[in-house]
């Protein structure tokens, strides 16, 4: 009788199938990883636009701060000097701009997302004046809109606010 030895191992076809499956899974992970950053940016911009809507609602509702409604309205302030946060403020002196004594709270922007630019210079104040609310953009009722661009790595999203208070994201 012949001694038959069993050979153990994988065939070439089996190895190619396993390599193919691993390649497909790796590709899916890499694509989703890249898109994950985009989703973080979009989520952050939507959150900020909702905060701006909250500020607008504060003006519409004539919300009281320290026992009175600020005659200058409620606003939001963005600065290129501090790209990782923005300020919500009550414009008590009616100048249409943020002053440190008017701060209600400071909001952080989000992980790895920062302010890239504003269309009106190094800083931008948007104030909603009750009861209409009228919108002052850098203390001017005639500015037709303001835009704030946010970035995460090489991705960009922009919030537009027009002079009647409509907020759009592009």
Round to whole Å and give the CA distance between 133 and 71: 12
pTM: 0.78
CATH number for the domain spanning 85: value is 3.55.40.10
Sheet containing strand 85-90, edge to edge, reads 103-108, 85-90, 74-79, 123-129, 134-137
Considering only CA atoms, which of 115, 116, 112 is closest in space to residue 152? 112
In a domain, 3, yes or no: no
pLDDT tens across 25-53, in order? 988 877 766 656 678 899 999 999 999 99
In a domain, 21, yes or no: no
In a domain, 17, yes or no: no
pLDDT tens across 90-139, in order? 999 999 999 999 999 999 998 789 999 888 889 999 999 987 778 999 98
Domain range for residue 157? 28-169
Round to whole Å and give the CA distance between 137 and 159: 14
In a domain, 76, yes or no: yes
């Amino acid at each position: 009788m012949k001694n038959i030895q069993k050979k153990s191992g994988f065939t070439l076809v089996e190895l190619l199938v396993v390599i193919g499956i691993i390649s497909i899974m790796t590709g899916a992970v890499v694509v989703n990883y890249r898109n994950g950053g985009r989703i973080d940016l979009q989520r952050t911009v939507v959150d900020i636009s909702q905060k701006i809507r909250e500020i607008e609602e504060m003006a519409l509702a004539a919300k009281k701060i320290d026992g009175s409604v600020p005659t200058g309205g409620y606003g939001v302030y963005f600065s290129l000097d501090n790209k990782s946060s923005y300020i919500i403020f009550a414009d008590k002196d009616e100048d249409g701009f943020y002053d440190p004594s008017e701060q209600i709270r400071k909001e952080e922007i989000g992980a790895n997302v920062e302010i890239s630019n504003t269309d009106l210079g190094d800083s931008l104040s948007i104030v909603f004046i009750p009861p209409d609310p009228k919108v002052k953009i850098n203390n001017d009722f005639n500015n037709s809109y303001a835009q704030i661009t946010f970035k995460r790595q090489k991705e960009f999203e922009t919030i537009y606010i027009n002079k009647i208070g409509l907020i759009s994201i592009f």
